[in-house]
Structure 1
Amino acid sequence: MPHTPQHGTVVWNELNSHDVEAAKGFYGRLMGWDFAPMPMGDDTYWIIRKGGADIGGVFPMSGPEFDRIPPHWMTYAAVDDVDASTKEAKAAGGEVLKGPFDVPGVGRIAVVKDAEGAVMGWISPKM
């Protein structure tokens, strides 16, 4: 039986990329990673695999809403309740950049900026 990650545990790392094929080539060569496709609407999300284990993902930043966002790595931490946690973040001086939303089969996610400006993804995983 899968376990639910403990609140505050880092659970996923994701490369957000404008050129997914170049990123896959770079990391595949230098890190020995394999990539498994996961359909995502009109696009494809790529699961990063190493030694048969899922260790992260590559998100394609396609579309005009991503034009001004540079490629970057996003870390995700598990939280017990994304909705409650984002309210607490605001009260503590943070900002919710992308409000809670559901990813079917994955969980409920939000992107939060802390009081200093650092950005992190929060997820209530659906196990």
Structure 2
Amino acid sequence: MAARPEGTPCWADAMFNDIEGAKTFYGEVLGWTFGESSSEYGNYTQAYRDGKAVAAVVPPMPGQDGSQPSAWCLYFASPDVAATAEKIRNSGGTVVMEPMAVGDFGSMCLAQDPAGVVFGVWQPGAHEGFELEGETGSYAWAEVFTREPAKSDDFLTSVFGYNAKKMAVEDMDYKVFDLGGEMPVLGRITMTPEDFPAEVPSYIQVYFAVDNCDQAVDRAVKLGGQKAFGPMDSPFGRFAAIVDPQGAAFAVIDTRTTVGDVPDMF
């Protein structure tokens, strides 16, 4: 596989207190199977769809009390994680986990933008990232939900060299970022006090593709998840936001069921 351009979403994982519960939930909702836990790397466990790596789950690290809420973390590709970490600092962000090698799989760091959005950076080695994208049960899209859009926008364009375009969406401040091509790689939504309680921090929402949005939501709710938003039609697909039983937020989208015209961008 050719190296992904810097700033391309390339991987997602989440930490769960109850790993077996997470496996059951995502196995049922997204059709994932799971590999063997890697004890050498904190029992990191990869998830697969049709035999291809799509995400990973991991228990809390030694010393953590398990009080941290579960959350999905999106990683962006980098040819040099140390150089990207320096750009993060110079652009007003915070490196919360310094660059480190993960065996021969690659190198990573964790960071936070000036608005508090947490994300990861991945420099691939043997593990290049998603082996399946845009297909059922795999990564489809991601959006930065931020309370301080100007800070997040400036940071993202500075660190990853994105081009930013505003999308003409009624009653919503929405931008998309691209890397010079026609296809955007990331969305950004402004969080308003009316729609998001003060206790909800800025975050990145990861979308996974499904065959039927409504059925995926029904499965999630039956397994103890909560529907946060939707299902709703859009020009990009029918989608819904879900909170899993351990508190991790994510979204599902059926990209084949579209309604309406794609909004203009400028």
TM-score when scaled to structure 1? 0.87
Identity level (%): 26
Give the root-mean-square deviation of aligned CA atoms: 1.8
Q: What amino acid is the match of 1:82?
A: C
Q: How many residues align?
A: 123
Residues in 2 aligned to 1:18 and 1:39: alpha-carbon distance in whole angstroms: 19
How far 1:50 sits from its partner (Å)?
1.2
The higher radius of gyration belongs to 2
Given that 2:217 and 2:242 are in contact with CA atoms closer than 8 Å, whether structure 1 keeps it comes out as: yes
Q: Which residue of 1 aligns with 2:136?
A: 7
Structure with more of its chain in strand, by fraction: 1
Q: Which residue of 1 aligns with 2:202?
A: 71
Q: What amino acid is the match of 1:43?
A: M
Between 1 and 2, higher relative CO (CA 8 Å, sep ≥ 6) is seen in: 1
Q: Which residue of 1 aligns with 2:243?
A: 113
Q: What amino acid is the match of 2:225?
A: G
How far 1:65 sits from its partner (Å)?
2.2
Question: After superposition, where does 1:1-127 map in structure 2 within 5 Å?
Answer: 5-52=134-181, 53-68=183-198, 69-103=200-234, 105-126=235-256
Residues in 2 aligned to 1:106 and 1:20: alpha-carbon distance in whole angstroms: 22
How far 1:62 sits from its partner (Å)?
2.4
After superposing the two structures, state which structure 1 stretch, 8-17 or 44-53, moved more. 44-53
Cα deviation digits, residues 30-89 of structure 1 (max 9, x gap): 111111111110333101111323101001112422242211111001111010111111
Q: 1:8 to 1:56 in 2, by over 3 A?
A: same
TM-score when scaled to structure 2? 0.43
Query: What stretches of structure 1 of length at least 5 have no aligned partner?
Result: none
Runs (4+) of structure 1 exceeding 4 A deviation are: none
Q: What amino acid is the match of 1:100?
A: P
Given that 2:179 and 2:185 are in contact with CA atoms closer than 8 Å, whether structure 1 keeps it comes out as: yes
